[in-house]
Structure 1
Amino acid sequence: MSPIFKTGRLNRLIGTTLLGLCGALTASHANAQAQAYPNKPIKFVVPYSAGTTTDVIARLYAQKLGEILGQSVVVDNKAGAGGNISAESVARSAPDGYTLTFSTSATHATNPALYGKIPFDPIKDFTHITLMVAAPNMLVINPKIPANNMAELIAYAKANPGKLTYMSAGSGTSPHMAGELLKTMTGIDIQHVPYKQVTQGLTDLLAGEIAMSFYHVPVIYPHVKSGRLKAMGVATSERSPIAPEVPPIGDTVKGYDIRPWWGLAGPAGMPQDIVDKLEKATMQFLKDPDMQKRLVDIGVIVTPMNQKDFNAFMATELVKWTKLVKDSGAKVN
C-alpha cells in the first residue's frame, strides 16, 4: 500500500473521527443548555396593549411560569398591525427559549388572509408548543327583536333578509368572523357593522340601533342578567362556566364552533428538550386550581393540547379562518 494512500485513509479517518466528536460535543452542549434552562430572564412578547384580555392572560402566565421555572418572566407589550409586529419580532429572535409569545387565532389564523401579505409564515417561522385557553363569545340581541332562542332568531332573519345588523370591533375580528360563519352555515342575510370604538357599538346595541352582536362573555353577560339584552347562545360547542344556562349555538346549528384562542409559541428551531420543559410547565400552570379560577373569571376556558395536537389544530384553524376572511370579503380597517 502506497504511503499516499495510507496518508489519505488516515486523513479520512481523522476527519470522520473529528466530525463524530464535533457532533457529540454539539449534542452534549445542546443537552447541557436544556438542563440549565432557564439561567436568565425569559421575555414574553404580548401582541396587544396592556389591559387587553391577551395581556391579562399573559401576566397570569408569566407570573406562574416564573415560579415553576425559578426564573423571572418579563412581559413585553409590542402592539401594532393587529399583532403582526409582535409576531414578526418573535419569529426573528434566537430560538433559545428566552423569547416566547402567544400564537393566537388573530395573529396566526386570521391575519395571514386579512392582511394579504405578512412578514412571517404563521406555521414555519414558529415553534408552536401548546394550546392554552380559548374565549367564547356570546350571541346577544336587543329585546326589540322577536326571538327567544337560536331557532326563532334564524327563522326571523330568514323572513327578514338584510334587516338585522350585527356589530363588531372591526373587520376580521372574532365577532365579525363568528357572524360570517353563522351566515354561511344557516343561509341567513345579516349586515355587519364594524365600529372603531367598541364602546360606541355596545351603546348602540343597548339602544336598539344595532340588532345583535357576538361579544366576550364576561363583558356582555351582565347586560343579559339585567334584561337589557337577550342571550341566544355561546359560539362554542360547550357551555360557558360564567353563563351555564345559555346553550351553545351548536345545539341548533350543528357543527358551529368558533372562538378566539391562545397558545404558547417561540421562534422556529427551538431545542426539543426546552420545548418539552415549557410544555410541562405550561400544563402545570393550566392545572393549577387557583389559576383555573382566575382564568374562568377573565372569561376564558382552559383547553390544553400537547405540541403534536396543537400543531394539527393550528393547520385546520388556519384553513378555517382564512376561508372565513375570504368569503366575508373582510379588509383591514
Structure 2
Amino acid sequence: MQRRDFARAAMLIPLAGAGLVRAQAAWPQRPVRFVLSQPAGSGPDILARYMGDQLARRWNQPVVIDNKPGGQNVIGAQAAARSAPDGYTFYYATTAAMVTNAYTFKSLPYDPVKDFVPVRLVGRSPFVIAAAANFPGKNLKEALALAKAEPGSVTIATEGPKTFSGMLADSVASMAGVRLNHVPYTKAPDALQDVIGGRVQLVCLPDAALTAYLKAGQVRALAVSTAQRQPGMPDVPSLSETFPGFDYAGWNGLFAPAGTPADVIARVNRDVEAVLLQPEVAQRLQVLGSQPEQHMSVPEFDAFMRAERERWAKLVKQLGIQPE
C-alpha cells in the first residue's frame, strides 16, 4: 500500500505543477490599479486612462486610475512605492518622478531606482512652448527678443522651476541669454486659463495638456522640445531649429513596486506592446500628444532609464540647480 501511495503521489506532482502554471497564467483575477502623481484631466492622466481602457479589454478586468497629485510627484510616487508588490498596483510615471526629482530634492521619501522595477515605456511626450493668442511675439525668436529687451518682463507658466517644464524653460532662456519670469502651477488647466486670460504670456507644458487649447485657437504653439517637428504639428518649429542639437522630451511609462513577480512584469510588458502595435491606438496616442514606443523589452527600458538619469544629471549641473 505504501508503494502504491508513493507512486500515486509521484504521478500527481506534474499535475500540481501544471495547476500552478495555470494559476499564474490566470493573472489578473481582480482589478489592476495605476497610481498617478497628476490630477484628473492632466496630460498623463488622459494617457493613462486611455491605455488603461485598452489593457482592461485584454485582461478582462478593470484598470482603476488612482490620482494622487501634489508635492511635485512625491505623494503619488511614495504611495506607489509603498504598495504591495503583488502585481496589482503599477505606477504610471513621468520623467519628473523617476528622474529629475532625484536631482532637485535633497532627499526623497522614495528611491526611484531601488523602490521600482521598470515595466514598459509607453510613449515620449514632447513639450510645447506656447503663447497667449494676443501675445505680440509671433514666433519663438520674437518672444525671446522681447524677453531680452525687457529682462524679467516676460512671464511663463510652468509646473515649477525644478520640474521638467521649468528646467526646459530655463534651458531655452539660458541658451538665448535671457531671463523668463516663472509662474508655477500645480494644475495645467489653471495655467492655461491664466495664459488665455492674458495674466501670463507664455506656457511650457506637455503636448497632451495643450492639444485641445491649440486646436481651439486659444493658445499658439511657438516651438516643440524635440529635435524634429511633430507629425501632429508640422507647422510648429522644433527647438533644434533655433538651438541646434537640442532634443528633450518627457515620457510616460509603467513601473512596478520592487518585488513584483517577474512573470507579471513580463506579461504587462508584452500586453502593452501588443496594444501599442495597434494602428488605431498609435494614432490616438499621437493625437493625445504622445509618440508611442512600439518596441521595448524590460531590459531595454532599464537601459533607457540609466541613460535618462545620466542625461538629466548633466542638464541639472549645467543649469546650476541646487537640490532643496
TM-score, normalised by the number of residues in structure 1? 0.76
Which of 189, 193, 206 aligns to 2:182? It is 193
Matched-pair contact (CA < 8 Å) for 2:42–2:188: no
Report the CA distance shift for 1:141/1:72 in structure 2 as closer, same or farther (over 3 A).
closer
Residue 32 of structure 1 deviates from its aligned partner by 5.9
**Structure 2 residue aligned with 1:12:** none
Amino acid at match of 1:214: C
SS of structure 2 residue aligned to 1:129: strand
CA deviation map 1:216-252 (0-9, x unaligned) = 4365467667777553321112323332211211133
Bigger Cα displacement from structure 2, 194-203 vs 88-97? 194-203
Is the radius of gyration larger for structure 1 or structure 2? 1
Quick one: which amino acid aligns to residue 311 of structure 1? D
Give 1:168's aligned amino acid. Answer: T
Between the aligned partners of 1:256 and 1:141, the Cα distance in structure 2 is 20
1:58 is matched with which residue?
A: 48
- The 2-side partners of 1:182 and 1:149 are apart by 10
- The 5-angstrom pairing of residues 199-210 of structure 1 reads 201-202=191-192, 205-206=195-196, 210=200
User: Take 2:30 and 2:282, find their aligned partners in 1: how far apart are those partners?
Assistant: 28
Residue from 298, 301, 308 that aligns with 1:317: 308
Unaligned runs of 5+ in 2: 1-13
Q: Please give the secondary structure, in 1, of the residue aligned with 2:157.
A: strand
Equivalent residue runs for 1:56-205 within 5 Å:
56-141=46-131, 145-146=136-137, 148=139, 150=141, 162-184=152-174, 186-196=175-185, 201-202=191-192, 205=195
What SS does the corresponding residue of 2:293 show, helix, strand or coil? strand
2:282 maps to 1:292: yes
Q: Take 2:112 and 2:84, find their aligned partners in 1: how far apart are those partners?
A: 17
In structure 1, what residue type is equivalent to 2:305?
M
**Contact 2:229/2:238, CA 8 A, preserved across alignment:** yes
Q: C-alpha offsets along residues 129-180 of structure 1, whole Å, 9 cap, x if unaligned?
A: 1110222222234565556454x65566556655544232333233212112
- Percent identity between the two aligned chains: 30
Is the CA contact (8 Å cut-off) linking 1:217 and 1:242 kept in structure 2?
Answer: no
* AA matched with 2:158: S
Letter in 2 for 1:314: M
Structure 2 CA distance for partners of 1:320 and 1:162, relative to 1, 3 Å: farther
In structure 1, runs of 5+ residues without a counterpart are 1-23
Secondary structure in 2 aligned to 1:82?
A: coil
User: 1:211 & 1:158 partners in 2: Cα distance?
Assistant: 15
Q: Distance in 2 between matches of 1:273 and 1:123?
A: 20
- Change in CA separation of 1:64 and 1:225 when aligned onto 2, cut-off 3 Å: closer
CA RMSD, Structure 1 to Structure 2 (Å): 3.4
